[in-house]
Amino acid sequence: MGYLYDLEGKKMKVALVVGARPNFMKAAPILRAIDDANQHELCTITPLLVHTGQHYDTALSDAFFSDLNLPAPNIYLNVGSGSHAVQTAEIMRRFEGVLETEHPDAVLVVGDVNSTVACALVTAKFSFGAANSRPLLAHVEAGLRSFDRAMPEECNRIVTDHLSDLLFVTEESGLRNLKNEGISADRVFFAGNTMIDSVLACEERAECSTVLDQLGLVMPHGNGSAEVRPYVVLTLHRPANVDNRGAFTEILEGLHEVAAAQTVVFPAHPRTQKRINEHRLERYFSFLTSNNRHGRDDAGPGLTVIEPLGYLDFLCLLKHASLVVTDSGGIQEEATCLGVPCVTVRDNTERPITLTNGTNVLGGTQQYTIRAAIREQLHRTYLRSFPEKWDGKAGARIVKILLRFWKDAGIMARS
């Protein structure tokens, strides 16, 4: 009780770091929960939204801010692209300045991108000076492991988890992995999945998207009703899958059979679009731009590349698909909660709950394994699945734990 009294009227300043597309939907529910907590708590939180600028294209960044009702970032670091070393170093250099001027009490990093590990490293080694103190460091989406260190994200996850003071886990495997790595259980909290908070919060609005009409995926009936045509969604952006021409071609060959039978819509990441041109793989695709896709009413079979979609349009496209083929981590989770069969074009996943309790199967990266997985999944129907604590309340749990920590212990790392 004494703490409550001591802290009454004080504000906890929390820097929340985002940088790349998959960060935005994980951060939005935390900001909303902070707003809620501020209405009810004696001790309030001042959020400071820091965008590193790792992703800067409108389609990968601004579109998500408006779809998710995120406020404009308080600080934009404008780092842009670069090699892993250059990008990570530049984020670190610029984020250190933020800690120096803003003095946050806590830093929250989400996910596993370069912005996550860069800001975690800076926070863990920072010192406010004479007091020899630093902000508390919390990792949202801790404990996931693919056990494949060739993935840059796996290195980012391991380093971030081992530096963090508080670790918020999305699925049971995360608890096991962190225990096996010797991370003390009193720092680890099974909070749930903020990415699923966003799906549940935005699903109704996503139904108003016109993306299916624009892509010719809605078949009108004479009586005024309409039906969604069967189609597949494809996303590919992992360097291991698209940077090497042979690997990319193998995947495209694996998709050949399904693409001959139905429309495969492929919102392509800028990296992937570049590789299609560099590898001269255009012959596999037809291309639709936002200028020529309006009013299309005849989507036929084939692989159709479109520009990256915003959050609400993608959610709508995914929800109504017969199947999604992807190498993304987050889409495996979204497909599980939407009940959409998913083939992951990888040999492993850091999200095993989507295999055991969800709609995901591993399709590998060889054409015959991908083809077999697609055949298997196209014949399956799934119910929507909500693994433990994928209930729309993860953001609220995280903020509650943060506040409890603040009230009970003050800021641990300041002592």
Site string for ligand UD1, 271-310 (x = CB under 6 A): x---------------------------------------
Nearest alpha-carbon partner for 120 in 87, 78, 79, 88: 88
CB of 53 to ligand UD1, least distance (A): 9
Structure tokens given for 72: 């404009």
Listed ranges 131-139, 215-223, 264-272, 297-305: which one lies at the site for ligand UD1 (CB under 6 A): 264-272
The half-sphere exposure of 251 on its side-chain side, counting CA atoms within 13 A, is 28
CB of 327 to ligand UD1, least distance (A): 9
Restricting to residues 354-383, which ones interact with ligand UD1 according to CB under 6 A? none
Distance, in Å, from the CA atom of 95 to the CA atom of 365, rounded to the nearest integer, reads: 37
CB of 114 to ligand UD1, least distance (A): 4
Q: How many CB atoms lie within 10 A of CB 358?
A: 25
Question: Does the footprint of ligand UD1 cover residue 76 (CB under 6 A)?
Answer: no
- Choose which of 269, 293, 351, 407 interacts with ligand UD1 (CB under 6 A): 269
- Rounded to 5 degrees, what angle do the CA atoms 15, 126, 71 make? 15
CB of 116 to ligand UD1, least distance (A): 8
Site string for ligand UD1, 92-131 (x = CB under 6 A): ---------------------xx-----------------
Question: Does the footprint of ligand UD1 cover residue 21 (CB under 6 A)?
Answer: yes
Nearer Cβ to ligand UD1, position 110 or 398?
Answer: 110
Structure tokens given for 306: 């479109």
Restricting to residues 51-70, which ones interact with ligand UD1 according to CB under 6 A? 54-57, 60
Listed ranges 18-26, 67-75, 219-227, 333-341: which one lies at the site for ligand UD1 (CB under 6 A): 18-26
Listed ranges 44-52, 176-184, 201-209, 265-273: which one lies at the site for ligand UD1 (CB under 6 A): 265-273
Distance, in Å, from the CA atom of 115 to the CA atom of 109, rounded to the nearest integer, reads: 8
Structure tokens given for 164: 């963090």
Q: What radius of gyration, in Å, describes the C-alpha atoms of the chain?
A: 22
Distance, in Å, from the CA atom of 414 to the CA atom of 288, rounded to the nearest integer, reads: 54
What are the residues whose beta carbons fall under 8 Å from the beta carbon of 290, sequence distance 6 or more?
306, 307
CB of 37 to ligand UD1, least distance (A): 29
CB of 355 to ligand UD1, least distance (A): 19
Question: Does the footprint of ligand UD1 cover residue 236 (CB under 6 A)?
Answer: no
Listed ranges 164-172, 191-199, 266-274, 400-408: which one lies at the site for ligand UD1 (CB under 6 A): 266-274
Site string for ligand UD1, 188-227 (x = CB under 6 A): ----------------------------------------
Restricting to residues 139-158, which ones interact with ligand UD1 according to CB under 6 A? 152-153
**Does 237 participate in catalysis according to the annotation?**
yes
- Choose which of 134, 229, 237, 346 interacts with ligand UD1 (CB under 6 A): 237
CB of 300 to ligand UD1, least distance (A): 29
Question: Does the footprint of ligand UD1 cover residue 270 (CB under 6 A)?
Answer: yes
- Fill in the DSSP letter of residue 182: T
- Choose which of 14, 22, 26, 263 interacts with ligand UD1 (CB under 6 A): 22
* Residue 68 backbone zone (phi > 0: left; psi -120 to 50: alpha; other: beta): alpha
* Binding-residue total with ligand UD1 (CB under 6 A): 18
> What is the DSSP annotation of 305-373?
EEPPP-HHHHHHHHHT-SEEEE--SHHHHHHHHHT--EEESSS--S-THHHHSSSEEE--SSHHHHHHH
- The single residue of 51, 139, 237, 269 carrying the catalytic annotation is 237
Q: With beta carbons less than 8 A apart as the criterion, state whether 312 and 318 touch.
A: no
What are the residues whose beta carbons fall under 8 Å from the beta carbon of 335, sequence distance 6 or more?
318, 324, 326, 341, 342, 354, 358, 359, 360
> What is the DSSP annotation of 16-72?
EEE-SHHHHHHHHHHHHHHHHHHHH-SSEEEEEEEE--SS-SGGGTHHHHHHTTPPP
Per CB under 6 A, residues contacting ligand UD1 are 20-22, 54-57, 60, 81, 87, 113-114, 152-153, 237, 269-271
Among all residues, which ones are annotated catalytic?
A: 237
